[in-house]
Structure 1
Amino acid sequence: MKKTTGIERRKFIKGVAGGALLATAQVASSARADDKPVASDWDREVDVVVIGSGTGLCAALVCAKAGNDVIVLEKNSGPGGNTLVSGGVLWIPNNHVMAKNGLADSRNQAMAYLRKLAQGQSDETLMEAFLDNGPEAVQFIEFNTDITWRATQIPGIDRVSDYHPEWHGSVPYGRSIEPETDIIGHMAGGYLVSSLLVSAQKAGVELLTEAPATELVTRTFADGSKKVIGVIAEYQGQLLRIRVRNGVLIASGGFERNSTMKTHFLRGPSPYTLGTETNTGDGIRMGMAIGADLRNMNELWGITVYKGDAEINGAKRGGISLMAQFDRSTPGMICVNRYGERFCNESADYDSTWRSYHTWENWGDLRYRNLPAFHIFDHTSRERFGIFGRSKDQSLPDWIAKADTLSGLAKKLGIDEAGLNATVARFNMGAREGRDPDFHRGESAWDVHGTGDSSLVLAPLEQGPFYGAEVSPADLGTCGGLRVNSQAQVIDVFERPIEGLYCAGNASGVGSPGASYGGGGGTIGPAMTFSYIAGKALSALS
């Protein structure tokens, strides 16, 4: 078998898969479930298989450092998953970076915040596992890779707070950490993944790309419980059967690219995603096929996108622009429904805003009151903040409407004219005074990045021409999946652990833990932590 020894970091950080594929195998007869396996049933035998090469690489590194043979199976043509197109930020309460910089935090304080964040959708033991292992996980990564962590830095913002800074247990700064690097934005996710991968490969981890796992091979015991003894994958046009001595970690991401699963599990429509194009819920379905229980399946990591942009670029991983995310909190910008009504604090965190689209009308057509929705802004806002270009003569995308008056804009977008004019008049009256009595925009420290200056997010819409575009709820990925315990071990529908099967990240039902987003890096922090927990558990089985 051919083995890859490394990957070129510059290509990797650009999102280009580097290095050759690691292994090939001659296919033998099908592995037998429920019987004692024989040597001819398998093409490979290793200690651990990790399905997914994003945050799952943390577990692979833990296991390899403990002396285990590890294979990572990646469905896509290159490693990284959703982490690759992230900002590389982890939300980890009570981390060592905070302690080093004299920033106050505590386990009790973080637990108070997490309990509210979870909204009843997390087991207390999962929150405890996150808090107890998160700081240890990032220290392990720092010690075993070239990563040095720092408190997250955003240009123009001195301190990045939790997303709900007014809640009991929140902190104003320090729980969001990132690698020290000059790389910014989505490229930083590539740096995080490449650092993990390079170290994992140096420790002996093998990576197979374009090798989707398709089936878990199990042994069934007399009481009906199961043990995972292997994985079947597709590789180079053939089946590859891998026997595992210790077990399997499913870290294959969520189901954001599976429209059927999204329709039947999520609490409301999320038609567009920034998630990787291969995240179709494979790991979740493989677990379901052997009786795994599910948790948090109604949740996702919510954002707002421009519908026109999403229709054009939504098929690509990370192809949708984040323009709508940045624009919606701009002074002189509001979000309205078809009645011309505002329905949210446009400067709130993106995950919470996602829910605001799904207010249900219980009369007439029985539909979502706030869908469709539209961003409305004026010429002053465009000139000052460069929305779709600073020049008034610069061409606009054809999905942006423009009119000299609000009434004219309403007609073009299909918005109630009287409603829009009344809403803007009321908003302007408050904005001139630096307040928003309807939705409290600018009152949270998160809205104004801790400055207390509401002018950073509030300004009247007064100068034509006016602009508008339809926006849509969307997501960074789903965050519900296989139910796990505090050891990241998958639990079946009869409350029994499935021996040899572990899960972490967006394929698991951990979430934040729970329903909501804690702060910048609130997706990757828990995912990396439970990957680390799984790695320790799998290593202990050797």
Structure 2
Amino acid sequence: MSKQFSRRSFLMGSGMLGVAAAAGALTGCAPTGSADGDSQNLSATGEAKGGTRYSLYENPDEIGIVHDAANEEDFDAVFVGTGIGGMMGAMICAEQMPDAKVLLLDKGSICGGNTNYAERNAPNESVTWAEALAAASETAAESTYLKRGILYAERAVDYGMNSAWLYLKHGVQLHKPASSAIARPMYEGGNGSAVIKRLQGQLDGAEYANLELRLNTRATALLLDDEYTCTGVQILNEDGTYTNINAKAVVLATGGMSNNFDLLQYYSAQDLSKCEAMGENQHGDGHLMAEQTGHGRCGTVALSSMYIHVPGFSIDSLLSVAASMNGSCCYVNQDGERFIDESSPSDIARSKAVEQQGRVFSIIGTGLLNDYQAGKMAHMKGLVGEDRANEPWDAADDLALAEGNDHVFKADTLEELAELMGVPADTFIATMDTYEADCAAGTGDSVFAKPAEHMMSMGEGPFYGFELSSVIFNTNNGIRINRNAQVVDAAFKPVEGLYAAGIAASGFNTEIYYVGTCQSSSVWCGSKAARHLIENCLGGTVADNWYGDEIYTKDSVVAYDNA
């Protein structure tokens, strides 16, 4: 039976550490010590703050705190999270060790997590170790070594095998519509939901009789013998009781923390007041559980800021997209000045630009709004998809909702609009006059060189100012791992029996997320964790052809869904 050792129980005895250590009584267990700042784990009254190193985070769900358990169960390996990393890892584990008992958990009611919304993880060939190291070293250097080259190299060497497992052995298809503006193919159907459904459907087969899937089941704390030995995980049952799952290995594939700004503010240096979250069940559970161990806090969390949005509107609002993600937009900041070429091809760059301002407003005149509704836009790509630029649409319903929206300002004149938005009127009027003159000249933007086809006149009033926010779909990083996907401390000493996979694991991003990293990294982490724990925790053997009958090469045939 696992000891119910948590950071809280450890810290509650911290007042005696000095006496015990002086007497030589503290052995076999590494205290947090002054380097981690034990006092930061305590409230003003000296009470330990559950499971987290940050005293200001209240941790209302008590993640990382081991509670009294109503019962216990035994499994060989537990995978927490059913995104592509957790799902793939659990399946590989079950395939390679038919006698092992494997548990796959998710606190949601459906499988997939943010993979359901991911666009792509196109297959790749493996490269040689020398080629992988060369490319990885360049990637690491470009990021001033915030990205860990060794992880990139490991991923590249495994590309062909992981691609073969996913696309050849398990028949995942790709979506490659002829009109797609994306050069590389996407997941079948356009996002990862079909991939997850395909893999989940295969779990009913005899090959996975040893794999149990439980939904609506939240992992809440690790079971530890000490800060470097994980012996299982505690789960919260639907009836409010807790169960201890004793296991030889636990894989945290729990996703990011974009839905938990109270926690995220202690991980991120970025201004979250400019952001809103569109993720699902991203509460940082894995991060908090990892902090029960000797892992400590990792230095960089990346916000996956991928779009701009008008708060208060639905994710599929065409008015919000027209006001925020349209190349013909005109943004002004708190000083009444433009600050970017709004037609920038990078959605991420525009999102970050919004985050770096005090406030940002998209200015639309009634004439421009009418042109938008008539489909007269050179570029319109956003949360609702692509190729909407030439489609007429009606903004009446959204404009009615805007009447009570604190982020939408309407005035008959630009002077009045400036006053409502709280920006300097003189500067704002001068900015708009220059913009209108450039539109009329037809030669392009004289300030930021925005192309002429994106320069569209505001027309007459009334005028609107739509205040913008940056949309975070998930966060990346947080849990430090080594090249085996093991959770490690700051000196890279591994926590035995504990792994991390997917966007909760650090090493693949800087403070900015670049499209395409999430899925390929998740696939590698989940696969690597499964293969390592089989041979190092479960005493099993991974077959040389664990990925199937053939490794993926550029000549491999992969089915395409062209619907």
* Fold-level similarity (TM above 0.5): yes
Distance change in 2, residues 1:124/1:384 (3 Å): same
> For 2:106, which of 43, 68, 74 is the aligned residue?
74
> For 2:415, which of 407, 412, 421 is the aligned residue?
407
1:498-530 C-alpha deviation (Å, 9 max, x unpaired): 1211111222123x44343333x4332322332
> For 1:535, which of 518, 530, 533 is the aligned residue?
530
What letter corresponds to residue 356 of structure 1 in structure 2? A
1:92-117 C-alpha deviation (Å, 9 max, x unpaired): 5x8259xxxxxxxx868964874476
Q: CA deviation at 1:375?
A: 1.4
> For 1:198, which of 197, 201, 226 is the aligned residue?
201
Q: Are 1:427 and 2:435 counterparts?
A: yes
Q: CA deviation at 1:464?
A: 4.0
CA distance in structure 2 between the partners assigned to 1:434 and 1:210 by the alignment: 58
Q: CA deviation at 1:208?
A: 1.2
Q: CA deviation at 1:329?
A: 4.2
CA distance in structure 1 between the partners assigned to 2:305 and 2:299 by the alignment: 14
What letter corresponds to residue 251 of structure 2 in structure 1? L
Q: Is the 8 A contact 2:478 2:506 kept in 1?
A: yes
Q: CA deviation at 1:148?
A: 1.6
Q: Is the 8 A contact 2:484 2:529 kept in 1?
A: yes
> For 2:495, which of 495, 498, 504 is the aligned residue?
498
Q: Secondary structure at the match of 2:247?
A: strand
Q: Is the 8 A contact 2:374 2:393 kept in 1?
A: yes
Q: Is the 8 A contact 1:384 1:390 kept in 2?
A: no
CA distance in structure 2 between the partners assigned to 1:392 and 1:433 by the alignment: 27
Rg (Cα) greater in structure: 2
Counterpart position of 1:136? 161
Counterpart position of 1:46? 75
Counterpart position of 1:290? 293
> For 2:342, which of 339, 342, 346 is the aligned residue?
346
Using the size of structure 2 for normalisation, the TM-score is 0.69
CA distance in structure 1 between the partners assigned to 2:367 and 2:140 by the alignment: 42
Q: Are 1:371 and 2:358 counterparts?
A: yes
CA distance in structure 2 between the partners assigned to 1:496 and 1:42 by the alignment: 32
Counterpart position of 2:255? 253
What letter corresponds to residue 336 of structure 1 in structure 2? V
Sequence identity of aligned pairs in percent? Answer: 22
Instruction: Show structure 1 runs of 4+ deviating over 6 A.
Output: none
Gaps of 5+ in 2: 6-27, 30-68, 376-391, 541-563
Counterpart position of 2:62? none
1:294-318 C-alpha deviation (Å, 9 max, x unpaired): 43534210144445326xx7xxxxx
CA distance in structure 2 between the partners assigned to 1:412 and 1:390 by the alignment: 28
**Number of residue pairs the alignment of both structures matches:** 440
What letter corresponds to residue 471 of structure 1 in structure 2? L
CA distance in structure 2 between the partners assigned to 1:417 and 1:229 by the alignment: 63
Counterpart position of 2:521? 526
Using the size of structure 1 for normalisation, the TM-score is 0.71
1:148-188 C-alpha deviation (Å, 9 max, x unpaired): 2355x5x96x432xxxxxxxxxxxx33xx32233xx4xxx3
Counterpart position of 1:469? 466
CA distance in structure 2 between the partners assigned to 1:232 and 1:462 by the alignment: 61
Q: Are 1:62 and 2:87 counterparts?
A: no
Q: CA deviation at 1:286?
A: 0.8
What letter corresponds to residue 63 of structure 1 in structure 2? C
Distance change in 2, residues 1:228/1:321 (3 Å): farther
Q: Is the 8 A contact 1:372 1:470 kept in 2?
A: yes
Q: CA deviation at 1:429?
A: 4.5
CA distance in structure 1 between the partners assigned to 2:450 and 2:132 by the alignment: 30
Distance change in 2, residues 1:394/1:71 (3 Å): closer
CA distance in structure 1 between the partners assigned to 2:321 and 2:142 by the alignment: 21
Q: Are 1:122 and 2:147 counterparts?
A: yes
What letter corresponds to residue 482 of structure 1 in structure 2? I
